A and B are shown apart, each in its own frame.
Chain A
Amino acid sequence: MKKTGWLLSLAMLVGVTTACGGGGGSNAAGPEDKDTVTVWTYPVYGEYESELKERVAKFQDEHPNITVQTEMLSWSEGPQKFDVALNAGNPPDLYFHSVDGTYVDTGLALDLTPYMTDDIKNDYLPGTLELAQIQGVQYGLPLYQFQWGWGGNKRILEEAGIDWENIQSEGWTWTEFKEAASKLTGKTADGSPQYALVTDGSSLDFIEMLSRNNGMPDVLDDAGKFQWNDERILDTLSFIRELMDSGYVPKETAALDPTKRTDMFYAGQAAIISKAIPYYDVMLAARNKDIDAGTVKGEKIDFVYLPVPHNDNAPAKTTTGGEGYVAFKQKNDKGEQHAENTFMVMEYLSDAEAGNASNELALPFVRKSQQEAFAGKELGTETTLSAAENMAENAELPVTLKLDAALAAKQKQFKEQVVKPNMQALYSGEKTPDQIAEEFKSKGSQSFGQ
């Protein structure tokens, strides 16, 4: 042994070490060459993981040269894992998310234009493909079109004499909401406070939805013009402050998180919550069944999907967006054939059968073939589906789809570093709406040069 022995050991050690750095990917040169496509996704709805496994197995049977490696991420940890992989230059080929300018800015988002056949394009319903485009370039295929509204407790609304069906069809103004809120605020049967509206203090959804309903699509508009620097944002902030001062919204809002918001809704302490999707209909129906079966304790709740009220002199808008698979290449590009294979997997995972995502989430379909495949099988109550359809007519698409990546990134930073802390200060009463509006104006001027 001696000399040769330890040299051999050294070679093995180096071999093992370098093997760790190997990509493990594959370079498919021709359509029949072996290739591996990686997919990172989330439990989009209850049965998604098992359905995805079945679909992937079927795809692999049809395309024996392509292996699809799927990884189910958790909603809490997944985004961070993806961000690290993306910024290390090694993202998965497909990732479930909305298309984001920061992804495009890395240079690794795959432009799908060459693969979009007329058949595919024509299958998408009007306005839906745009949900996965940045400045007109297709980077993903939407699986569903989400929309955010408010969620109401039918019992509380009806006890207060609120005509929720009329609100669903006609919408409501801030003045009308305040009138309703005065009737919805009080005490529950056990003496706990009951609020007209409960929101959380940790996210920006509330201010974003309200400002959208006061004529501002976002901090910036589609053309990149700064919006939150005039009376409209001051009005919106003042409206929120007024709701808190009147006791319609809890004074503890700054410290409430989305989980607590839901808990309060379940406990009957919230007549309305400030963020809901039509899927709550399905979710609450399942919870009601569990209550009947004795596996869950609490009051059964019938869900009412409501539009967000709009300022009296501004049009109603519904916050809308798309989520689905976004395609990526890696820093060490695996070649054109791999990109084609990636698109093939992507299209398969977004086809007619994949429309079950929209169906399960009680959301409008994005493809004609999906509408046909699930006709008559819709989940969710008729009233909720009808309300969602009404609200889709006022859809406001994310401005980030139109902005260039650098401006979209600036807007994101402005929201995190200026809007979020100021909203927390508004909720905790540490700043007045005037002070905040003034700060938005001055910091916005610094950030956007406007």
Chain B
Amino acid sequence: MQTSVSPTPRPRRDGRGRFFREYGWAYLFILAPVLLFLVFTLYPVASAFVMSFQQYKVMGSTWIGLDNYSRMMTDDVFWKSIRNTVIFTLATVPVNIVITFVLAYLIFQMKNKAQTFFKATLYLPAVASGVTISVVWLAIFDPTDSGLLNRFLGLLGIDPVIWLGQSGTALFSLILMNWLGSHGAGIILYLASMGGIPKSLYEAADIDHASGWTKFARITWPLLKPTTLYLLVTGIITSFQVFISVYLMTQGGPNFATTTIAYLIYQTAFQFYEFGLASAQSFVLALLIVIVSVLQFKAFSSDVEY
């Protein structure tokens, strides 16, 4: 005869006590970052969201519903800033990815010491401050004959250009600065990914007499797609938030030719003290970034293997 012994149900309090005894420390440790997230990220974001429906005043804000959003939608400068931001993003991100990829591909063919040298050299701008870089570029774009770029043009017999002082060239100047700027982080990511591609795949391709282009198109490029997708998404997010170069070099001018959405938010908040309107602009920027990022993942992630 078998006797079934049913386990005695443990009192609930005891179970909770055991849970805390076993996992309490773990939860305590994650409490710190959770608290930091709540206090320094979630709370400000939620406050800013509420603020976007208010006319903000330190001593008491007024609820104005969607007024900030409707004001923003009828503001020419807001649409100019969106246009400039989109142009800047479209002009910089794809070109930067190509430049980064080509540089990484060239470095990958080199020996170890040369690789280290180029990796360090090309990463250097990433650790330099944006302010320093902007000051150097201001000297490069000096509008007089003595400007570095204008001197170079002079050697080619081309008249000096007022790079940052004309609507036609100001945004292009910032784009040019971005193209020639920091590719270091992307290069390191690409190099790591290239190093992770199994050599056996290339050996098999060699046996099949595959050309260099075929090996690139069928092996290298597909296996680098996750890195490319990552660089594309982060590049677009960064470009949508471009601020330092605009702030330091053109202050949105001339005639709003370089006013980007991030600069407009800064100007609305800190020059005009319209924090409610600036919050509304911030949420539109955040929404744009989310939409573009989701679209990118939808478009590219189906054939990306992680």
Binding site for B on A (CB under 8 A): 2-3, 6, 9-10, 13, 17, 80, 83-84, 86-89, 102, 105-108, 192, 201-202, 250-257, 260, 331, 409, 412-413, 416-417, 420-422, 424-425, 427-428, 430-431
A42 to chain B, nearest CB (A): 18
Contacts of B141 in A (CB 8 A): 255
26 A–B contacts from the bound complex (CB under 8 Å): A3-B24, A6-B28, A13-B28, A13-B32, A17-B39, A80-B270, A86-B58, A87-B58, A87-B275, A106-B57, A106-B273, A108-B59, A192-B146, A251-B162, A252-B165, A254-B162, A254-B254, A255-B143, A255-B164, A256-B143, A256-B165, A257-B138, A416-B271, A416-B272, A430-B167, A430-B255
Proximity string of chain B (25-50) to chain A, C-beta cutoff 8 Å, 1 when within and 0 when not: 10010011001000100000000000
Cα A6 to Cα B24 in complex, Å, equals 7
Q: In the complex, A338 Cα to B145 Cα: how many Å?
A: 58
What CA separation (Å) do A88 and B59 show in the bound complex?
A: 10
Q: In this assembly, does B20 line the interface, its C-beta being within 8 Å of a C-beta of chain A?
A: yes
Contact B253 A424 (CB under 8 A): yes
Whether the pair A421, B256 counts as a contact (CB closer than 8 A) is: yes
Interface residues of B in 135-192 (CB under 8 A from A): 138, 141-146, 160, 162-167
Residues 241-285 of B contacting A (Cβ, < 8 Å): 251, 253-256, 267, 270-273, 275
Alpha-carbon separation in the docked complex, A427 to B166 (Å): 9
The answer to whether A202 and B25 touch across the interface, beta carbons within 8 angstroms, is no
Known: A9-B28, A83-B273, A413-B272. A420 touches B165 (CB 8 A): no
CB distance from B298 to the nearest CB of A (A): 38
Candidates A88, A252, A422; contact of B255 at CB < 8 Å: A422
Which residue on chain A has the smallest CB distance to residue B135?
A259
Contacts of B272 in A (CB 8 A): 409, 412-413, 416
Complex Cα distance, B32 from A337, in Å, reads 39
Residues of B within 8 A of A260 (CB): 142, 144
**What total of A-B pairs shows CB separation below 8 Å?**
112
Closest 9 CB pairs of A and B: A255-B165, A254-B165, A424-B254, A252-B143, A255-B143, A107-B59, A421-B255, A425-B255, A89-B58
State the CA gap A13–B39 with chains docked (Å).
14
CA of A334 to CA of B59 in the docked complex: distance in angstroms?
A: 15
Pick from B24, B58, B165: contact of A331, CB under 8 Å: B58
**Given A254-B253, A254-B254, A424-B253; 10 other pairs, CB 8 A cutoff:** A84-B270, A107-B58, A108-B59, A201-B165, A255-B163, A256-B143, A331-B58, A420-B253, A424-B255, A428-B165
Shortest distance between the CB of B171 and any CB in chain A (Å): 13
Q: Given A256-B143, A260-B142, A424-B255, are A417 and B77 neighbors across the interface (CB < 8 Å)? A: yes
User: Is B21 on the interface with A (CB-CB < 8 A)?
Assistant: yes
Set of chain B residues within 8 Å of A201, measured between Cβ atoms: 165, 253-254
Residues of B within 8 A of A255 (CB): 141, 143, 162-166
Size of the B side of the interface (Cβ < 8 Å), in residues, is: 40
Docked complex Cα distance between A102 and B271 (Å): 10
A412 to B274, CA, bound (A): 12
| Interchain CB contact (< 8 A) of A428 among B20, B21, B162 | B162
Which residues in B have their C-beta under 8 angstroms from that of A88?
58
B273–A430 touching, CB < 8 Å: no
Shortest B40–chain A CB gap in Å is: 10
What are the residues of chain B within 8 A of A250 when measuring CB–CB?
144
Shortest CB distance B245–A (Å): 15
Tell me the minimal C-beta distance from A269 to chain B in angstroms: 8
Does B21 lie within 8 Å of A3, measured CB to CB? Answer: yes
**Chain B residues with CB below 8 A from A80, complex form:** 270
Q: Given A80-B270, A424-B255, answer yes or no on A254-B166 (Cβ-Cβ < 8 Å).
A: yes
Please report the C-alpha to C-alpha distance between residue A333 and residue B146 in the assembled complex, in whole angstroms: 55
Contacts A3-B20, A420-B253: A253 and B273 contacting too (C-beta < 8 A)? no
Q: Which residue on B lies nearest to A421, using beta carbons?
A: B255
Query: What's the least CB distance linking B129 to chain A, in Å?
Result: 13
Bound Cα distance from A17 to B275, whole angstroms: 27
B254: chain A residues at CB < 8 Å are 201, 254, 421, 424-425, 427-428, 430
- In contact, B58 and A108 (Cβ under 8 angstroms): yes
When the two chains form their complex, are residues A424 and B32 in contact, meaning their CB atoms are under 8 A apart? Answer: no
Please, which residues of chain B bring their CB within 8 A of the CB of A192?
145-146
Closest to B131 in A: A76
List the B side residues contacting A13 at CB < 8 Å.
28, 31-32, 35
Q: How far is the CA of A3 from the CA of B21 in the complex (A)?
A: 7
B278 to chain A, nearest CB (A): 11
Residues of A near B24 (CB, < 8 A) are 3, 6
Q: A80-B270, A254-B166, A428-B167 are in contact. Are A421 and B253 (CB under 8 A)?
A: yes
